[in-house]
Amino acid sequence: MYAYRKSMPRLNKHLDDKWVKHCQRLHKQRLKQMKPAIDNKPPPKFVHLAQNLKKQQMDEERYSQIERDNYLLLDKMSYIMTHPQLLDEKYMGRPVTYGKSLNKEYRKKELMRITEENQQILRRIQHKEPYYSHEAWTNDARLSEEYLRNCAEYPICLPSSQLFSRSPPSRVTRTPRARQQREGEEDWG
C-alpha cells in the first residue's frame, strides 16, 4: 500500500503522512455519501395480490361445515343423554358371545407332544460326542502348512499361519542342490 510513497521523493516525511491521511479521510467520507446506482429496494406489495380471497372463502366454508357437523353431533348426543331408555339392554340387543373352538384341546395336546419331542432331540444332540475332531483338523492344517513351506522357493506368509503356529514361523533354508533341481525343472517347463 505504501510502496509507491517510499519510491517517490518527498521533502518532509511528517507532512507527507499528514497529507495522505487527509486524502484517505476525504475518500472515506465520499464513499459514505455516495448514492447507489442500482435500486435494491423490494418491489411494492399490492394488497389485492397479498390477500388470497378465494382461499379465505374456502376456509370459511370449511369452518362453517365443521361447525354444522359439530352442532349435529352435539344435538344427537344430548338426545341420547336425555332419553336413557335407548340404552337399555332390550333395545341394544343381546351381548355378542364368541364361540369356542372344538379342536382346542386336541391342538393343545399336539403342541405339548411336539414340544416334548423337540426337548428329547435337543438332549440327544447335546450328549452326543462330535464326529469330527477339531484338534485333528488343526494338526492336519499345521502339517499341510509345513509341507507348503518346504516346497516353496521363497518364504510364504499365510494369513492362517498365525492361527496354527504358536511360535513365529521358522525360515526354511534350502540346499543348493534343491535350488538346482528346481531351476532344471523350469528349463524343461
Residue 179, C-beta contacts closer than 8 angstroms, at least 6 positions apart = 153
Cα gap 180→90, rounded to integer Å: 111
Of 48 and 143, the one with more pLDDT? 143
Determine, yes or no, domain membership for 117. Answer: no
- pTM exceeds 0.75 for this model: no
Per DSSP, 103 falls in state T
H/E stretch holding 136 reads helix 134-151
Do the beta carbons of residue 20 and residue 5 sit within 8 Å?
yes
**Model confidence over 55-107: pLDDT tens digits?**
999 999 999 999 999 999 999 999 888 876 655 655 566 666 777 788 889 99
- Structural domain including 143 reads 137-173
Closest CA to 160 of 175, 141, 185, 137: 141
Determine, yes or no, domain membership for 3. Answer: no
**Model confidence over 125-171: pLDDT tens digits?**
999 888 888 899 999 999 998 888 888 777 777 665 454 454 544 44
Determine, yes or no, domain membership for 67. Answer: no
Determine, yes or no, domain membership for 168. Answer: yes
Q: Is the pLDDT of residue 40 over 80?
A: yes
Determine, yes or no, domain membership for 145. Answer: yes
CA atoms within 13 A on the CB side of 87: 7
Determine, yes or no, domain membership for 131. Answer: no
Nine-digit cell string for 119: 426337548
Which pLDDT does position 189 carry in this prediction? Answer: 45
Determine, yes or no, domain membership for 42. Answer: no
Query: How many domains are there within the chain?
Result: 1
CA atoms within 13 A on the CB side of 181: 8
Determine, yes or no, domain membership for 163. Answer: yes
